[in-house]
Structure formats: C-alpha cells, structure tokens
Structure 1
Amino acid sequence: MLGAKPVATPMSQSPLTLHSGTPLADAKTYRMVIGTLQYLAFTRPDIAFAVNRLSQYMHQPTTDHWQAAKRILRYLVGTTSHGIFIRSDCLLTVHAFSDADWGGDKSDCISTNAYIVYFGGSPILWSSKKQRSVARSSTEAEYRAVANTASELQWICSLLSELGITLSAAPVIYCDNMGATYLCSNPVFHSRMKHIAIDYHFVRGYIQSGALRVSHISTHDQLADALTKPLPRPRFQELAYKIGVKSLSPS
C-alpha cells in the first residue's frame, strides 16, 4: 500500500453494513490490519471513527469492509507526516467536546457517541464508540455522550490531583444539542427521562458541586463531529486541523 494513491479522508460517505459485499474466504489479514490500526488510533484521532466502525465487522468481514480498510491505509499514505501538535503556551485547563450521531448505524439504529478531551489546549484523550442501546431521541443520545465524557473528565481530574496539578477552572464539556444542555442545567427531574436516571444524576451531581460545567456550542464548532460519522473532505480536513492533527516536521 506504500505506492497506493492517497485519499483525503479515511472513510467514504457510502453506507457500510454488516452484510454489504461478499464474505472474505480468509479474514486473517483484515483482522491483522484493523488490530494494527487500533494501536495507531491512540495517536491519530482523525482515524478513530473509521477504525471503530470497521472493528465492528471483525467477526464477519466482507470485500466491502476490506476495501474500506485499505482506504484508511491510503489515507495514511498521504498523511505520514501528520501528528498531534502539543502546545506549551496554554493555561492548565481541561475541556472536552461531546457529540453523538443519533441512530447513525442504519442496521440497528444505535447511536455513536464521541468525545475529545483537551488539557492545556492539546488533545490528550478521545473516543468513538457505539452506545449500548437505542436512544429514543437525539437529546437522549447526546446526554448519554455527555455522561460518558463526564466520567472520563472525573478520571483525568483525579489523576491531575495525584500529580499535584491544580486546575485554574472547573472542566467544561461543550455540547451542540440544546435539549441535552438544558437538561444538564435543569434542577427538575422529568419522568420522561427516567430511563436515563443514572446518567442524569451522575452529571447533575458534578454540576451542582461546581466540579463541572456543560456549555452549548454551535454544530459548526463541534470538533467531536469528526468522530461520529464520515464527513465530506472539506469538513473533515477543517475539523482534523482544529482538533490538532496537522503536518509536523520530524522532531
């Protein structure tokens, strides 16, 4: 694949399902490639969604899945100099972007949630993962994503505390769903949200104690959008640069 023609995005916008394509006679190579890419995704958030999506077909990969895996390799061929830009001139603050693609998987209608956590202006933690069950509204899907992000922020703040690092302000989660943002700040628990009561009280507890803030952000500025669905080239390249993945000279 070193001589393959590079592509601008790691994943096509064409729908990919479990049964698309013809089953591979030998899935060993596919599983080896995806397993290797999972390690690479630890330092390349721009391929996190594509790797997570293709990992869902490890048990029964097809020719279409194999072509999608090779597309990631073609994307990496053209971005071998890309990496995470770590800043040293920012305040020691923690903030995160949380997003969810409601019912994004058309085969089972389960949403994909994602988050990107920043420390001092640099990305240090990210995730793209399917939720455990079907969300009945976009607000529910987004609120579950906020709860997952809050859990990770709790762990990071605990780690920083053990290292003797004091944050100048409470961590902030940026969410682009008005309903989920309003639910975070609403002290009244509605019966229509009782099926996500644990997530609700988990997030509310941190907000009421002043250990967390949830703020609304426009969809255009939602960086985690790149980790929830395949995007067209202009939008993907814009978000990848804003996330902090850019071409860097060897150190």
Structure 2
Amino acid sequence: MASSPKLTLTSGHILSDPTPYRKLVGSFQYLAFTRLAIAYAVNRLSQFMHRPTDAHWQAANRILRYLAGTPTHGLFLSAKTPLSLHAFFDVDWAGDSHDYVSTNAYIVYLGSNPISWSAKKQNGVARSSTEAEYRSVANTASEIRWICNLLSELGIRQTAPPVIYCDNVGATFLCANPAFHSRMKYIVIDYHFIRGQVQNGLLRVAHVHTTDQLADALTKPLGRQRFLELRHKIGVTKAPPS
C-alpha cells in the first residue's frame, strides 16, 4: 500500500457499483491466511466495504499488481526448528486520521516459523502510546496462551516461557513493574492479566529496537525498501524452483 496519501472514507468518488470491490477484498481476506505481508493493506481496505470509492479501488488493484509480481512468494515452514514460542507486536498509535483509533498487530513464531498473525484496529481511542501498546501486548499474550494450550494438548511442552518483543519502553517497564499506578486504572484488566502471567513465569516481555520490530509491517504502509526488508525477515520468501 502506498505510504501517501493516506486512504480515508472521503478519498475519491463513491463507486456506482461496490460489488466488485467487496468481492475482491473478500478474496484478499482468504489470501492473507498465507500471505501475511498484505495483512495490513487488506485490513485497511476492509474498513471501506460500506462506502468504497475509486481511490479504494485503485489501492485494491495495487495489491493485485503486487501479487501478480510475486506469485512464487509464500511462507517456508522449516521442520528443523526449535519448538519455542516468541512473538512481535506493534501499534500505530492514533494512526487513523478519521477516528484516531490505533492499529495493532502481532506475529507469533514457533521457532522460526510464523504460525499466527493479526492486523486490526483497536476497540477505542488510546490516550497514550503506552496504553495502546499495553492493549496490544494483552491481545498478543492471549493468543500465545491459546497456542500454548493447543501445543500442550498435542504433547508439546514449552521448556522456557514465551517471549513477547515490544519496542515501547513504557509498556515494557509496566509489564515488569510490580507497582500499580493509579494513572493506569483505565487498563486495569489488561494490567493484571499480563502481570499475572509474568509473575507466574508463563510469559516474558522484552524490549526490542524499533528497527528490529517485525510487526511494523502489519501496522502501517511502509516505503518500498523497508517493506521488502521486513517481508524477508518475517518469513515471506521466494519458493525454490521445483
């Protein structure tokens, strides 16, 4: 997706027949199950289903051109990888200029293989970047807890607690700080959910530099160089010739 200008509800002129747009974006939603690099773009275009314009249609065709140029790209799942869980999550705080709701995303890895990812808007407006990040880490922790339960039922035990990598110092510190601050009461449920898992040794939250935050590709449109760099790092590769 082009990094500028940003798509909004009022971009362009309303399509006389929105059906082709809705069918195309609906198909993208299924394709995003294996092509996680388009997860943000598909999520963004899905927000205009009720009122698509020609600008949204052009953005959808941009995804088609990208897919047509990378038909051999996909996820390579390696059999020789440690069965340990770790995740990256990121937030584009107040990135939507229409309602200022943040977009959060996460990618969960089993060893080196991405097995679960999501890119979607939060339920409400966050008053600070730390609040937005903390909401996202709670969503990521919930997904990891579900995956841990699934692996346990399959007989796969985790030898070390899963790690969630966060590039926000405030959110990382809040996860490790046993003191509860009164100014954080509006995220009290997420706070105690994360703190309980960290204290019980079921989870660890670690800081990672912004340049190494892989989930950045799922929260906002990026420039070509940064997008290609992250696409390779998150696990989307070109399949070898058969």
TM-score range, shorter chain: over 0.9
Matches within 5 A, 1:175-214: 175-214=166-205
Question: Residue 124 of structure 1 aligns to a residue in which SS?
Answer: strand
1:32 aligns with 2:43: no
Amino acid of the structure 2 residue aligned with 1:237: L
Give the conservation status (yes or no) of the 8 Å contact 1:103–1:135.
Answer: yes
How far, CA to CA, are the matches of 2:98 and 2:193 in structure 1? 30
RMSD over equivalenced CA pairs, Å: 0.8
Question: Residue 189 of structure 1 aligns to a residue in which SS?
Answer: coil
Give the conservation status (yes or no) of the 8 Å contact 1:23–1:63.
Answer: yes
Matches within 5 A, 1:81-160: 81-160=72-151
Match of 1:4 in 2: none
Give the alignment partner of residue 241 of structure 1, picking from 222, 232, 239. Answer: 232
How far does the alpha carbon of each residue in 1:106-128 deviate from its partner, in whole angstroms, 9 at most, with x for none?
A: 11110000000000210000000
Give the alignment partner of residue 53 of structure 2, picking from 59, 62, 67. Answer: 62
1:44 aligns with 2:44: no
Give the alignment partner of residue 13 of structure 1, picking from 3, 17, 21. Answer: 3
In the TM superposition, what is the alpha-carbon distance from 1:89 to its structure 2 partner?
2.1
Match of 1:172 in 2: 163
Q: What's the TM-score, normalizing by structure 1?
A: 0.95
Q: What's the TM-score, normalizing by structure 2?
A: 0.98
Question: Residue 161 of structure 1 aligns to a residue in which SS?
Answer: helix
Q: Any runs of at least 4 consecutive aligned residues in structure 1 with deviations exceeding 3 A, and if so which?
A: none
Question: Residue 165 of structure 2 aligns to a residue in which SS?
Answer: strand
- Percent identity (aligned): 66
How far, CA to CA, are the matches of 1:24 and 1:31 in structure 2? 11
Question: Residue 164 of structure 1 aligns to a residue in which SS?
Answer: coil
What is the number of equivalent residue pairs in this alignment? 241
How far does the alpha carbon of each residue in 1:214-245 deviate from its partner, in whole angstroms, 9 at most, with x for none?
A: 00000000000000000000100000000000
Give the conservation status (yes or no) of the 8 Å contact 1:88–1:120.
Answer: no
Gaps of 5+ in 1: 1-10
